[in-house]
Amino acid sequence: MVNRMTGVHFLPSPSNDEFFARCLGAVSPSVVSLVGAGGKTSTLFWLAQALVASGQRVLVTTTTRMFMPDPKHGATVLIELERAQRFAALRGLPIAPGIVALFSQFDATDGKVAGCEPDEIDELKTMAVADVILVEADGARHCALKAPAAHEPCIPSGSNAVIALSGAASLGCPANPANIHRWPQFAAITSLRPGDVINGSALSRLLEHPEGMFKNAPAQASRHWLVNSQGAIDASVPPMLAQLANDHRALDGVWIGDMQRFNPFSHAWVRG
C-alpha cells in the first residue's frame, strides 16, 4: 500500500526526471496506466520518448482502442492476433533502448488498433519484456474531461502508477457537455448542470468519488493527476489545484504541463 500521509510540497518548473522519480521510483519493470481525457495519446508518447532518451526499453499498448502510432514516434509496431504470437514477437526483438508498440488488431476503416487484455499486460510485466510498460487504459473521444462508464477504465492490476489526465482549458469555466465525455456520469458525480462553473468543489467530487477520476486504480499504484495546459492556463487554476492537492490524501501528485513540449511541467504539488 502506498503511504500518502505526509505533507504536500510545491515544485516550481519540475524536471522530467522529477516526474519519473515520483511516478516510477526505482521499480523495474513497471506499468504506468493513463486514464481520463485531454491528451492521453500525446502524453503516452511523450512519456515513451522521454524514457527512451534516458536509456529505457518501453512497451506501449492499450486495453481499449487507440490510433495507430505516428511514424514520428519512432516505435516498432507489432500486430499479432493471438497472445502467444505477441509474446513470440516480443521475444524476437533485440534488448536495447527503444519503443515497441504492441497490438492485437488494426482496423483500417478508422485507423485504430486494439491492444491487450489487462491480465496479459500483467503477464508481460513478469516477463520483463521492457523496463516500462505504458498503457492507454481509457477512451475520451478527444474531449477535455470525462467520467468513466460502467466498463471503464480497464487498468491492469499490476500497475505501479495511474496517471489521470484533464484538459486545463475547461477548468474554472462553464461546463459544456459537448466537451465532456460521458456527460451524464460526469454530471451525476460532480452535481453540475450545463453552464455551471467547473470549480474546485466539483473537481473534488470527481477526485474522491469511487466512480470518478481514479476508478479501478489498484491500491498499490501511485496516483498522479496531470492537467494538460496545451500552451495556456488561466491564473485561477494553479491555486485551485494546489488546494485540491492538499485536500486529497489519495493523490501522490498534481502536475501542470504542456504535453506538446519536451520539458512540459510548470507546476507540481507532490506528497511525501
Q: Hey, what's the cell of 50?
A: 522521454
* Single-letter amino acid, residue 268: A
Tens of pLDDT, residue by residue over 143-200, are 999 999 999 999 999 999 999 999 999 999 999 999 999 999 999 999 999 999 999 9
Over range 206-234, report the average pLDDT.
94
Please report the pLDDT score of residue 1 as a whole number: 45
Computed over every residue of the chain, the mean pLDDT equals 93
> Phi, psi (5° rounding) for residue 110?
-125, 0
pLDDT of 101 = 97
Give the Cα separation of 122 and 112 in Å (integer).
23
Instruction: Give me the domains of the chain, ranges plus CATH numbers.
Output: 8-271 (3.40.50)
pLDDT digits (tens, 9 = 90+) for 52-109: 999 999 999 999 999 999 898 899 999 999 999 999 999 888 888 999 999 999 999 9
In the predicted structure, residue 5 carries a pLDDT above the cut 60: no
Q: What is the pLDDT of residues 221-233, one digit of tens each?
A: 999 999 999 877 8
Least confident of 1-5, 169-173, 202-206: 1-5
pTM: 0.95
Q: What pLDDT was estimated at residue 258?
A: 95
